């Protein structure tokens, strides 16, 4: 689905993405897990064609941004880390507007509203939505073109546990459609709850990758050392992160 080959992006002396190579197979739910500043947004924005790598190559379904932007915009659904909506139109109008960008008709919005559980809010002004509802709306906008690949940057950051779970439920509903998902998060619970493929990133580099089971098995010994003082006996993704970096994910 996506192939990232030795991709680099520096901002002056900050190595935001420092030589990343990754393949993402079709139909997979992958989490890019790492603390603030790990380089997650820079990496996904390069995949989304919003930022350009300094070097390296990115292919999506075998195509590149330089030649196939129109095609790629059609198959991709993206939600940025922060979405600015038009506050003075309604939820339904916002969806109609985005549907029109993709040449979709008025039948798209009701379907999306149902999926993101906002049907009752379709006549509400966007400025009156809660944070959780806004996040669901931005997810809905990403889904309006029935994307093959959905890329979400921190979809639940700052949400309370209930609002977070609602977003997770929506993403789980998409699985049977065969949609591929790439999401960034610094919540290990989110990576565990949704994704079978976990990429641990820090300081612009990929430190480890695998299923939660594979990672736990591979780092069991190191993680046990850092977890000594805690109650749990199971290896968590945070334990693994501490074993790899000496820091916690939320530090």
Ligand X SMILES: Nc1ncnc2c1ncn2[C@@H]1O[C@H](COP(=O)(O)OP(=O)(O)O)[C@@H](O)[C@H]1O
Residues near ligand X, by CB under 6 A: 11, 14, 16, 34, 36-42
CA-to-CA distance for 223 and 225, rounded, in angstroms? 5
Which listed option, Mg ion, ligand X, none, makes contact with residue 34 (CB within 5 to 8 Å by class)?
ligand X
Which listed option, Mg ion, ligand X, none, makes contact with residue 39 (CB within 5 to 8 Å by class)?
ligand X
In the structure encoding, which two tokens stand for residue 170, read together? 């929506």
By CB under 5 A, the residues from 57 to 86 that bind Mg ion are 81
- Helix and strand element counts for the chain (H, E): 10, 9
CA-to-CA distance for 165 and 171, rounded, in angstroms? 10
Applying CB under 5 A, which of residues 1, 16, 34, 41 lies at the interface with Mg ion? 41
In the structure encoding, which two tokens stand for residue 191, read together? 């990576």
Nearer to Mg ion, 33 or 212 (CB): 33
By CB under 5 A, the residues from 164 to 193 that bind Mg ion are none
- Least CB distance from residue 154 to Mg ion, whole Å? 6
In the structure encoding, which two tokens stand for residue 218, read together? 């591979």
For helices 108-115 and 91-101, what crossing angle results, to 10°? 120
Nearer to ligand X, 61 or 80 (CB): 80
Strand blocks (E) in the chain: 2-11, 14-24, 29-33, 55-60, 76-79, 149-153, 180-185, 197-202, 205-210
The answer to whether residue 145 forms part of the interface with Mg ion (CB under 5 A) is: no
Nearer to ligand X, 92 or 155 (CB): 155
Nearer to Mg ion, 40 or 136 (CB): 40
| Residues at the interface with Mg ion (CB under 5 A) | 40-41, 81
């Amino acid at each position: 689905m996506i192939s990232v080959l030795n991709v680099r992006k520096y901002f002056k002396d900050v190595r935001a993405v420092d030589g990343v190579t990754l393949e993402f197979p079709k139909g997979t739910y992958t989490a890019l897990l790492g603390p603030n500043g790990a380089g997650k947004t820079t990496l996904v924005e390069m995949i989304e064609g919003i930022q350009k790598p300094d070097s390296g190559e990115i292919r999506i379904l075998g195509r590149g941004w330089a030649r196939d932007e129109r095609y790629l915009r059609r198959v991709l659904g993206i939600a940025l880390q922060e979405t600015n909506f038009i506050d003075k139109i309604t939820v339904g109008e916002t969806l109609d507007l985005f549907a029109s960008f993709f040449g979709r008709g008025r039948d798209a919005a009701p379907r999306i509203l149902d999926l993101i559980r906002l049907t009752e809010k379709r006549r509400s002004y966007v400025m009156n939505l809660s944070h959780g509802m806004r996040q669901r709306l931005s997810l809905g906008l990403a889904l309006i073109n029935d994307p093959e690949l959905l890329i979400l940057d921190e979809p639940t950051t700052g949400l309370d546990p209930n609002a977070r779970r609602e977003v997770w439920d929506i993403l789980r509903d998409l699985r049977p459609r065969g949609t591929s998902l790439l999401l960034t998060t610094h919540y290990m619970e989110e990576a565990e709850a949704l994704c079978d493929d976990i990429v641990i990133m820090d300081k612009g580099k990929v430190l480890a990758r695998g299923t939660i089971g594979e990672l736990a098995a591979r780092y069991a010994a190191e993680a046990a050392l850092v977890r000594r003082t805690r109650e749990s006996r199971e290896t968590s993704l945070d334990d693994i992160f501490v074993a790899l970096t000496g820091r916690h994910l939320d530090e």
